A and B are shown apart, each in its own frame.
Chain A
Amino acid sequence: MSAEWSEAITATFIVVAAFLCAAAGIGLLRLPDVLSRLHAATKPQILGLGLIIVDVAVSNVSIATIAFAIAILFFQGLTAPISAHMVGRAAYRGDHVRRDLLVTDELADAVSRADERSGRGDSGDDSASDESPESR
């Protein structure tokens, strides 16, 4: 590959990655609640980081760089969903959800069903459905 071509690819990747990271930042400010902000915070940024890493590996080809790039992508891909899941779970249970923006909430149905099964569902609808099935 000629140097010009690899320069062009590098430049394109970095611009696209920067755009995605910027979108992630704007999403943090613009979206209405914790759960939807998580989408912006964790997702476009994964592809953004991926592009930059691929870029580094392409413009600096050696076994060490490529092995390191694969390890970074692997861990980022493995850990970003887990942290998103933990924050999302905490946000849902801590009631930081704009329920008026939800079209359906099938988790609330499941939680209230679980409450009924364990005989705690008749003590009041909303307060009971905010408890998780396994929180006691």
Chain B
Amino acid sequence: MHQREHASLGSRAMLFLGLVLLWAMLWGQFTVLSVLTGVAISTVVTLVFYLPAIQFSRRLDPARTVYFFVRLAFDIVVASFQVAWIVLRPGTVPHNSIVAVQLRTRSDLITMWVAESLSLVPGSIVVDLDRGESILYLHVLDTDDGRDVERARSRVLGTEERIVRGFGSAHDVALVRGTARPPEADPTPPGTEGER
């Protein structure tokens, strides 16, 4: 497995602070007591529910990150009404498809962000995920023909690009721009082979 090193002290501290903040938010108050109990609970949680280290990219482009979130909110609003229309329109049954999309990043965190934000936007669900090869398998609602499938594919790659440009590593940015090659030789991209 790749990217399984120990997390740096910095990224651990960030996660810990995040937990404390979350605890205070759940209580709805930022007092000494809520912060102290938050520190205690977070210590127990990080010790008991140990998770593999997250690799932060240590790169953040604030403007592009904000753009990603604004665009995500916009997509959610537009697509919610699209799905509502698909549901309510009389007659036709929607034709769907399962699309495989080869991502360019190999980062677990970025793959997670892409999968999460795609699932939040109505019209696509991540059915399966190939972690080693970073391939997402999406169920896409209402695709009538190959053109709709290709549109869904380019939407996924666009989402990946916005996320990587926002807070992906410099190497991922180069991958998205096409100025660097993926680590291992890619097999034929899924979906371009002959059908069985």
Q: Given the complex, which residues of B lie within 8 Å of A42, measured CB to CB?
A: 119, 125
Given A81-B120, A85-B125, A106-B98, A32-B93 contact (CB < 8 Å): yes
C-beta contact mask, A68-98 vs B, less than 8 Å → 1, else 0? Answer: 1011000001101110110011001000000
**Residue B134 is within 8 A (CB to CB) of chain A in the complex:** no
Q: Is the CB of B116 within 8 A of A78?
A: yes
Q: Is the CB of A35 within 8 A of B139?
A: yes
Q: Of B87, B120, B125, which is within 8 A of A46 by CB? A: B120
Q: How far is the CA of A97 from the CA of B136 in the complex (A)?
A: 18
Q: Is the CB of A35 within 8 A of B87?
A: no
**Residue B83 is within 8 A (CB to CB) of chain A in the complex:** yes
CB distance from B76 to the nearest CB of A (A): 6
Interface of chain B: mostly helix, strand, loop or mixed: mixed
Q: Is the CB of A30 within 8 A of B97?
A: no
Q: Of A35, A43, A81, A104, which is within 8 A of B83 by CB? A: A43
Highest count of chain A CB atoms <10 Å: which of B30, B127, B191: B127
- The number of residues on chain B lying at the interface, defined by a beta carbon within 8 Å of a beta carbon of chain A, is 51
Question: Quick check: which of B19-27, B44-52, B165-173, B177-185 contacts chain A, the rest being far away?
Answer: B19-27
Q: Given the complex, which residues of B lie within 8 Å of A48, measured CB to CB?
A: 80
Q: Given the complex, which residues of B lie within 8 Å of A14, measured CB to CB?
A: none
- Using CB atoms, name the residue of chain A closest to B145: A103
- Using CB atoms, name the residue of chain A closest to B149: A104
Given A81-B120, A101-B96, A88-B83 contact (CB < 8 Å): no
Q: Of A38, A71, A104, which is within 8 A of B191 by CB? A: A104
Q: Which B55-92 residues sit within 8 Å CB-CB of chain A?
A: 76-77, 79-80, 83-84, 86-88
Q: Is the CB of B28 within 8 A of A35?
A: no
CB distance from B100 to the nearest CB of A (A): 4
Q: Of B127, B148, B195, which is within 8 A of A35 by CB? A: B127
Q: Which residues of B contact A (CB under 8 A)?
A: 22, 24-26, 28-30, 76-77, 79-80, 83-84, 86-88, 93-100, 115-116, 119-123, 125-128, 130, 135, 137, 139, 141, 143-146, 148-149, 190-191, 193, 195-196
Q: Which residues of A contact B (CB under 8 A)?
A: 19-20, 23-24, 26-27, 30-32, 35-36, 38-40, 42-44, 46-48, 63-65, 67-68, 70-71, 77-78, 80-82, 84-85, 88-89, 92, 101-110, 112-113, 125, 129, 132
